[in-house]
Amino acid sequence: MKKFASLFLLILWSSIAVAQGLSDKEKEILNRVDANHAEALQFLETNVNINSGTMNFDGVRMVGENYMEAYDKLGFETSWISQDEVNRAGHFFAEQQGSQGKKLLLIGHLDTVFEEDSPFQEYEVLNDSVAAGPGVNDMKAGNVMILYALKALKEAGAIPDAQIIVALTGDEEKAGSPISKSRKDLVEAAKRSDVALGFETASGFSYATVARRASYSWKLEVTGKQAHSSGIFSENTGAGSAYEASRILNRFYEELQEENLTYNVGVIIGGNEVDYDDETIRGTVSGKTNIVPKKTIAHGGIRFLTQEQGDRAFQKMKGIANENLPQTSAKITFYEGGYPPMEPTEGNMQLLEILSEASRDMGLGKVEAYDPAKRGAADISFVANYVDGLDGLGAMGRGAHSPQETINLDTYKELTKRAALLIYRLTQK
């Protein structure tokens, strides 16, 4: 009986712990989000109506200037980081110094995939619940969410001594090369932080992203012996580069498939004379139906969840490429210039739990981890090695990267409040 009673008490205690509710300070923060919401939507519209396609440097800078003005008003130290060196517009950073609680890095991007020649240029409210616009969801509304969450926190006097860095990159959709230069400032900010929060578009009201897959590229170069086709398969002529490339790719297809690992052949080109450019992903080829082809190139991408999974796949692909058919040879190269993985670490899961608890305390239900296989890589991937991270905290919407891109206005205010509450609670830990 005693055992039963203590078990009952434990259950009661844990349900109280789960629904601890909101403190007066937290209620004040959420009220400030309410009070500023119309202004936030106006700021969103203003910024969506400025074209900031990645290669429209003036437009990216103009959106950056709007943020600079807004963060200056909030009392943050602001800076524009030129990216002339990598032929991009630059990044906007804002920082408040402090020492209380977790040190936070809040990540957004100023650019969109819609360049100046796109027909999709304007913000348009379609009805009470939906607005359309280029980059409205990916991720201008996310940037606005960061600003108005922080504005509410500042107005409520809730974060007087917290270190917060806001990083809005200017080239997320088409990062400047090399990455070591274009992401240097982001990585340095992460090294001074404990937690990174990414405000890329939300995958639903009840989901956040604790992991993102890495994205690398690979190139397979196969060489065969040029000879008259009548001799193909003979000891002297062998299989030719086309059969050998087919063998390798087919074995990739048959033997590598596993959860969270995908690998795509983007381009394949083969024949006798092959001229292929990795950068532009274009080539020319010539051959004859009666010549065994000398050269075949396949160029593709590979995505994986953990470095261990990636390394294992690289090894297996190399092994398959080395078991050559007669009179052929093959070489596979992996290019690590892409996005590293954001692995589903314990620390990331703890952040998700804090978000989920904040959500329940607001009466919005729990938040769960989104399937990483369904999300692409993002800027948070570059800092995942240095901090705990959570992404997908931005606005909900549809059709990112398409002319049908929209934002869901019904959930936007609640998501902004939830983000503000998450930021606040992290600065109290």
- Rounded Cα distance between 368 and 389, Å, is 14
**Cβ of residue 232: shortest distance to Zn ion, in angstroms?**
49
**Cβ of residue 139: shortest distance to Zn ion, in angstroms?**
4
Instruction: Please tell me whether residue 419 binds Zn ion under the rule CB under 5 A.
Output: no
Q: What are phi and psi of 316, to 5 degrees?
A: -65, -40
**Cβ of residue 138: shortest distance to Zn ion, in angstroms?**
4
Site string for Zn ion, 196-215 (x = CB under 5 A): ----x---------------
**Based on CB atoms, which residue is closest to Zn ion, 48 or 298?**
48
**Cβ of residue 159: shortest distance to Zn ion, in angstroms?**
26
Q: Tell me which residues in 131-160 interact with Zn ion (CB under 5 A).
A: 138-139
SS3 label, residue 168: strand
- Beta strands in 121-183, from DSSP E residues, in sequence order: 124-125, 130-132, 164-169
**Based on CB atoms, which residue is closest to Zn ion, 316 or 401?**
401
| CA-CA-CA-CA dihedral for 109, 113, 114, 115, to nearest 10 | 90
**Based on CB atoms, which residue is closest to Zn ion, 106 or 274?**
106
**Cβ of residue 383: shortest distance to Zn ion, in angstroms?**
15
**How many other CB atoms are found less than 10 A from the CB of residue 123?**
20
**Based on CB atoms, which residue is closest to Zn ion, 174 or 429?**
174
How many residues line the site for Zn ion (CB under 5 A)? Answer: 3
**First vs last Cα of the chain: how many Å apart?**
38
Which region among 152-160, 194-202, 252-260, 340-348 touches Zn ion (by CB under 5 A)?
Answer: 194-202
**Based on CB atoms, which residue is closest to Zn ion, 379 or 388?**
379
SS3 label, residue 50: coil
**Based on CB atoms, which residue is closest to Zn ion, 26 or 200?**
200
**Based on CB atoms, which residue is closest to Zn ion, 238 or 392?**
392
Q: What are phi and psi of 14, to 5 degrees?
A: -70, -30
**Based on CB atoms, which residue is closest to Zn ion, 207 or 252?**
207
**Based on CB atoms, which residue is closest to Zn ion, 200 or 388?**
200
**Cβ of residue 50: shortest distance to Zn ion, in angstroms?**
17
- Of 385, 340, 312, nearest to 214 (Cα)? 340
Residue of minimal Cβ distance to Zn ion: 138
**Cβ of residue 172: shortest distance to Zn ion, in angstroms?**
5
Q: Which tokens belong to 66?
A: 């709007």
**Cβ of residue 89: shortest distance to Zn ion, in angstroms?**
15
Q: How far is CA 251 from CA 162, 239, 265, 303, 336, in A?
A: 53, 16, 13, 18, 23
**Cβ of residue 54: shortest distance to Zn ion, in angstroms?**
11
Q: Tell me which residues in 81-140 interact with Zn ion (CB under 5 A).
A: 138-139
- Rounded Cα distance between 364 and 362, Å, is 5
**Cβ of residue 199: shortest distance to Zn ion, in angstroms?**
9
**Based on CB atoms, which residue is closest to Zn ion, 165 or 175?**
175
Strand pairing report for 273-277 and 207-208: unpaired
SS3 label, residue 145: helix
Give Rg (Cα) of the chain: 26
* CB proximity list for 334: less than 8 A, separation 6 or greater: 216, 217, 218, 302, 314
> Left (φ > 0), alpha (ψ -120 to 50) or beta: where does 199 sit?
alpha
- Rounded Cα distance between 344 and 389, Å, is 9
Q: Which residues bind Zn ion (CB under 5 A)?
A: 138-139, 200
